[in-house]
Structure 1
């Protein structure tokens, strides 16, 4: 099978619709149908079943599509290795990044990177740190950027630390938290971050918040806080220094030291041998040198 046929099968399996697949492949539906019939003849079996709702993969089709996907991935890896031998940095840089970093820190770094290395393609996924680690373990990305503590056994580089603050439009001292009836606004996060906040809260107040609101995204939490709905605990990376009438109270540990969150860049040694990955690491190091402690 040609690489074109392999690509055709993966697109069909993703879209499960002849019209949509034909549009993605820039061919007519009759031409696509004919090519699919030829591929099925080569394999000697039916790969897709048509229905009014679209396409369905047969058991044989599932195996052939898996073969097609794996072959295309191998082809991409060979392509990247060949490009690594050239003078210019080419290939695809695959990054998995914690959402909070992807929203507030990474765009500035990527802007600098794509300016220096315009031939590199960027593939980016964001999520919780646990999801980033999963993507690394499964080989879906070259590097991962995570928050908090990590037991990663491969190569890892510290990026930055940022402090945690209790943020509110009214509360100016920690002692006022226990007196207010306004809600504590929390956002869903990885368990280690959640536990860190819980430990600080119970160490500080020995009780639960009187009222609380839980939201899905940190940005929602931030906007509700900035609009005076309640108070929240936010990392410095998310806080807009130009916002007026916002009080920031640093969270302290039992020794009176500011509580900070670590951010790490992780990857396997083999990934850092790729020129585009090493180039990104160089840009990150240059960028980080000029950044103040948060």
Structure 2
């Protein structure tokens, strides 16, 4: 039976599908890696990888073995986490999936406090759209997720904060002026529920579509284009930070004459919150939010 180190070797090979890159990641020479692979394949009694000029490809037997290998590695991580949870000191890897906007603008301060306080803990971070964060949680890739919007989640759900939405521009000082300007409405790609919120507000306010629209991939690109006077944008307060100059910020008002806001939630399964690194991270978050509100 192969050892865990050999399982790790197979997992890296399957991830890279390239002998040179795999050897670099494993800090071994290509001949040594090739020899170890031959020994492992001999143990399994079959070829696991086929070499070609384009790299490596898995044989059908290889696909079965790699699936088994990755399951073993995943289970080993969980066992190690459970062992670490028995200790008083915070160890183990904290696996987080975070909405990109939170990861860029809010999370770094929290992580700085966490790693300073718990230097033995490791962090694995995934960023993406909120829908991708939920997928990572459902597939057990992470311990906790931080998403934007109102989630349909049956596990542990902790409300972190809310921030207002603003129409941001260098010239426009009231919402009605967007109907007169020839400059474009700059939008960033986002989850459908956020996009729908903006669309609903827009049609309630103006009953017509924008004259011109420019769609960009990243919210930071959208922000910089608005800050440089290329067009106007609708941005959440979390991206603004209060340091911007010569920029008008007009709050979006809903049908109840209240500020339109965006919620941020922390989600996870009950079992994840029993891990010491998760408990410690949640405490750091609560302290950080309390400091921000003082």
Of 14-23 and 57-66, deviating more is: 14-23
- Looking at structure 2, the residues matched to 115 and 162 of structure 1 have their Cα atoms a distance apart, in angstroms, of 27
Query: In structure 1, the residue corresponding to 2:88 is in which secondary structure?
Result: coil
224-233 vs 52-61, greater mean Cα deviation: 52-61
- 1:186 to 2:187 alignment: yes
TM-score, L = length of structure 1 = 0.98
* Per-residue deviation, 1:292: 3.6
Separation in 2, partners of 1:94, 1:292: 27
Does 1:60 pair with 2:61?
A: yes
> Map of 1:230-269 to 2, 5 A cutoff?
230-269=231-270
Q: Residues of 2 paired with 1:8 and 1:227: CA distance?
A: 49
**1:126 lines up with 2:123 in the alignment:** no
The question of 1:161 aligning with 2:162 is answered yes
Q: Which residue of 2 aligns with 1:137?
A: 138
Structure 1 CA distance for aligned equivalents of residues 147 and 26 of structure 2: 36
Matched with 2:176 is 175
- Name the CA distance, whole Å, in 2 between partners of 1:103 and 1:140: 21
Distance (Å, rounded) in 2 between the aligned partners of 1:172 and 1:52: 61
Q: Post-superposition shift, 1:261?
A: 0.3
Match of 1:98 in 2: 99
1:71 matched residue in structure 2 = 72
Q: Equivalences for 1:30-49 in 2 at 5 Å?
A: 30-49=31-50
Alignment of 1:177-216 (within 5 A): 177-216=178-217
Alpha-carbon distance in 1 for matches of 2:275, 2:243: 40
CA-CA distance at 1:240 after TM superposition: 3.5
Deviations 1:13-38 (A, max 9, x none): 11112222122112222221111111
Higher alpha-carbon deviation: 130-139 or 32-41: 32-41
Corresponding residue SS for 1:185 = strand
> CA separation in 1, counterparts of 2:215 and 2:61?
46
**What is the RMSD of the two structures over their aligned residues, measured on CA atoms?**
1.0
- TM-score, normalising length: structure 2: 0.98
Partner of 2:227: 226
Aligned counterpart, 1:271? 272
Deviations 1:184-241, CA, capped at 9 Å, x for gaps = 1011100000000000000000101111111111000000000000100000000142
CA–CA separation in structure 2 for the residues paired with 1:150 and 1:21: 39
Q: What is the alpha-carbon distance in structure 2 between the residues aligned to residue 123 and residue 149 of structure 1?
A: 25
Unaligned runs of 5+ in 1: none
Which residue of the partner structure matches residue 286 of structure 1? 287
**Structure 2: gaps spanning 5 or more residues:** none
